[in-house]
A and B are shown apart, each in its own frame.
Chain A
Amino acid sequence: MYTQGLDQQGKTENRRDSLETPERLEAFQARIDAEEKIEAKDWMPEAYRRTLIRQISQHAHSEIIGMQPEGNWLTRAPSLKRKAILLAKVQDEAGHGLYLYGAAETLGISRDRMVADLLSGKAKYSSIFNYPTLNWADIGAIGWLVDGAAIMNQIPLCRCSYGPYARAMVRICKEESFHQRQGFEIMHVMANGSEDQKAMAQDALNRWWWPSLMMFGPSDKDSKHSAQSMAWKIKRFSNDELRQKFVDVTVPQADFLGLTVPDPDLRFDETSGHYCYGEIDWQEFHDVIAGNGPCNRQRMETRRRAQDDGAWVREAARAYAAKHAAKAA
């Protein structure tokens, strides 16, 4: 009922209905305020549709590109058990990408268009996946911190006003908990292992801590999309609120592991009940977003190669389907 049907409907609707009259905008906001879900074929303001397409497709691209740093360790996992777990996790991330592409398609953008925008560099993905995975403990740190930060971000999205996105997020959140726990377990084993293993765990935390904090996006005073997204109930919490929650739950976990969070300014504030943390290096954040992180080029090259190398498979499958359809007719 989704892309194709919607495209056609869009055409008639554009003539009849696309006018964003004050009444229509008000009625739309009233539905949102009443916590009603918006569904694919419902009337919605163009800006709401565009915001969702941008956010959901970026999210999908992040899941897809996010397979690469972990995929790097699939053939070198330290045991068969860890290899099976990592394979399952990476496969889940592919699944997350697919759920999300599906949700974005309900808004009338095609899968091909989204993939083309990713490969051309027009569409963005999360900055975190442009960092390298240098030692096995990085796989632990990613599960614990990166999936942990993703969970913080994603749980409120389960209540997003757009139904198909919210439903995809419910499915994703159910799977993320395994990702985070397997990562924490790796860290725990290494932090309690030999001196060398403990040093690897600390090294991974040192490198992944700040990029994980950056996953929540620019600070509230610099966040250009936030206010409207909050009013539309696409977002429920601000970037800084979510970042604070993440720091508050994660620091005690690092303490438990006996590892040190690489932030000399970090301290617990008794009055607020929160951890205060040091200034984030926003220059680094903007550099990575702009394409100049340690692995941006490599990630895009790998993705493009996968797309090109798979072209004959997609073509063959289409030819096979056409042949059998012809035979059946």
Chain B
Amino acid sequence: MTNQEWPLYEVFIRTRSGLSHRHAGSVHAPDDQMALDHARDTYTRRNEGVSIWVVRSDRIVASDPAESSALFEPAEDKIYRHPTFYEIPEGVENL
């Protein structure tokens, strides 16, 4: 039990062609190839996917939730970025 555990990988699955990959969960594996094998056995036993991505969890760079207001609030008052901000006179069509 003292031997170090296999690294953790995050698993992303494309459920059908035409859709993007989506996070499914994680697996431990000693290397990339086995991470793919484990991801297949763990997350696609019922045709849940047509493509798998795995990436070492420690290689993911993630934003810090504590800083989410600094990151995301500036977008909140820029309502002019949305089409509903603009007033279009009655009678104008296809706009």
Contacts and interface: CB of A to CB of B under 8 A. Distances in A.
Interface of A: 1-5, 9, 13, 17, 39, 41-43, 88, 91-92, 95, 98-99, 102-103, 105, 110-112, 115-116, 119, 167-168, 171, 175, 307, 311, 314-315, 317-318, 320-321, 324-325
A320 B37 CA distance: 15
Closest 7 CB pairs of A and B: A321-B31, A321-B30, A317-B30, A4-B58, A102-B26, A1-B60, A112-B5
B81 interface: no
A206 to B, nearest CB: 34
A318 B10 CA distance: 19
Contacts, number: 76
A80 B34 CA distance: 30
A18 B42 CA distance: 35
B8 interface: yes
B28 interface: yes
B34 A1 contact: no
Interface of B: 1, 3-6, 8, 10, 25-28, 30-31, 34, 41-42, 45-46, 57-58, 60, 62, 64-66
Contacts of B8: 2-4, 105
B40 to A, nearest CB: 12
23 contacts: A1-B62, A3-B8, A4-B8, A9-B64, A13-B66, A41-B65, A88-B45, A95-B42, A98-B27, A98-B42, A99-B42, A105-B26, A111-B5, A112-B5, A115-B1, A119-B1, A167-B25, A168-B25, A307-B1, A311-B3, A315-B3, A317-B31, A321-B30
Nearest to A100: B25
B42 to A, nearest CB: 5
A5 B68 CA distance: 17
B62 A116 contact: no
A105 B62 CA distance: 17
Contacts of B66: 13, 17, 43
Given A111-B5, A321-B31, A91 B45 contact: yes
Contacts of B60: 1, 5
Contact of A314 (B3, B10, B26, B64): B3
Nearest to A41: B65
A39 B26 contact: no
A1 B10 contact: yes
B20 to A, nearest CB: 17
B62 A41 contact: yes
A115 to B, nearest CB: 7
A13 B10 CA distance: 23
Given A1-B10, A314-B6, 9 more contacts: A2-B8, A5-B57, A42-B65, A119-B1, A315-B3, A317-B30, A317-B34, A321-B30, A321-B34
Contacts of B34: 317, 321
Contacts of A2: 8, 10, 26, 57
B62 A99 contact: no
Contact of B65 (A39, A112, A115): A39
Contacts of A171: 25
B25 A102 contact: yes
Given A1-B62, A2-B8, A5-B57, A320 B30 contact: yes
A2 B10 CA distance: 8
A39 B58 CA distance: 17
Contact of A99 (B3, B25, B57): B25
A275 to B, nearest CB: 34
Contacts of A99: 25, 42
A234 to B, nearest CB: 19
Contact of B57 (A4, A88, A175, A318): A4
B33 to A, nearest CB: 9
A111 B4 CA distance: 10
